[in-house]
Amino acid sequence: MTNLPGLTPRALKPLSAAILLLAVGSALAQPKLNVVASLPDLAALAREIGGQAIQVTSLATGLEDPHFVDPKPSFVRVLNRADLLLEGGAELEVGWLPPLVDSARNPKIRRQGPGNFVAAEGVRLLQVPTGPLDRAQGDVHPLGNPHFLLAPDNCSIVARRLAETLSRLDPTHAAIYQTNLAQFQARLDQKVAQWRQSLAPFRGTKVVTYHKSFDYFLDYFGLELVGTIEPKPGIEPTPAHINELIPKARQLGVKLVIIEPNRPRRTPERVAQAIGAQLVILPLMPGGQPAAKDFFGWFDYNVTQLVNVLKP
């Protein structure tokens, strides 16, 4: 290599560093990929992988029921400008998202479009029905339980696919996405070890939930779901069902009743009091509690809440 006149190898080092920083800064200065997520858990995961190279908007908030999000006219404008749409899939958003996508007139984000990402693809879903379905069974999801991001191993699967998709749509920042993915996975592995250790003393604890929302979380960390406040998915609790649930839960020694922030509390409080269990409110998605505003804060909050109510 020929040295520039008057510049020694030592002098070239800061110059090379400056050129590298300029190149990185130039890449980041390019228009950011516009990512729209149907739900806050997907948005939080996208922020971990995309970092400063993308702009992320969540249509729903962490306090909403992901099955029944109130569609707003502004959502159509947001979707019209999206480069990438992240949806949970497994028919979680089937009641509100498809009409918005149709109205947005953005072919990129339609199903099978280059900017459509379905998180459920590649994930092993729990509770996939095997027989015929009808409305008498409640709001049963024919593809399986769609609340799979409450299990860290599923988050890893989705994160890898998301990094690949971002790299395909935005190859200029592919190295950034892969670096962020590696950092995310390393941190997740470390946090999972901590979460498992924190919850280890409570493995086998029997739990009642309002809806079948936390099945993946409970299964992953070794807690046992024995019943739900809802008699069937999406069906409001009835006196007959609650009168059956209370003696069953009492006999099984249920220690915990879990509900989401948006659920009515009167019936869960009654059940918890009747069986001598603790009632705990856990966010189903980031943003469901102020302390659970991002991906890791969400899991940290849920684990900490469980430990606090279960410890002697």
Other CB atoms within 10 Å distance of the CB of residue 25: 9
Q: Give the residue from 177, 194, 211 where a domain finishes.
A: 194
pLDDT at 136: 56
pLDDT lower than 50: segments of the chain: 1-4, 7, 9, 11-12, 15-20, 23
Q: Give the domain extent around 101.
A: 30-124+138-194
- Are 106 and 208 in the same domain? no
Q: Is 207 helix (H, G, I), strand (E, B) or coil?
A: strand
**Sheet holding 224-228: strands in order across?**
224-228, 206-209, 256-259, 278-281
Number of folded domains that form the chain: 2
217: in domain: yes
Express each pLDDT in 101-131 by its tens digit. Answer: 999 999 999 999 999 999 999 999 999 988 7
- Are 177 and 74 in the same domain? yes
3: in domain: no
The C-alpha angle with vertex 217 and arms to 211 and 220, in degrees rounded to 5, equals 140
Pairing verdict, β 206-209 and 84-87 = unpaired
pLDDT at 142: 84
pLDDT at 129: 86
pLDDT at 141: 76
Express each pLDDT in 78-95 by its tens digit. Answer: 999 999 999 999 999 999
- Are 114 and 37 in the same domain? yes
Q: Is 2 helix (H, G, I), strand (E, B) or coil?
A: coil
Q: Which of 80, 75, 90 is nearest to 38 (CA)?
A: 75
pLDDT at 26: 53
186: in domain: yes
pTM reported for the whole predicted model: 0.89
pLDDT at 305: 98
pLDDT at 58: 99
- Are 82 and 177 in the same domain? yes
Q: What length does the chain have?
A: 312
Other CB atoms within 10 Å distance of the CB of residue 160: 16
**CA–CA gap between residue 45 and residue 30 (Å, rounded):** 22
Task: Give the helix ranges, DSSP H, for the chain.
Answer: 9-29, 40-50, 73-80, 97-104, 152-169, 174-199, 215-221, 239-252, 266-275, 295-310
Q: Which amino acid is at 41?
A: D
Provide the CATH number for the domain around residue 219: 3.40.50.1980
- Are 225 and 161 in the same domain? no
Q: Give the residue from 178, 194, 210 where a domain finishes.
A: 194
**CA–CA gap between residue 141 and residue 149 (Å, rounded):** 16
Torsion angle (degrees, nearest 10) of CA 97, 99, 101, 104: -140
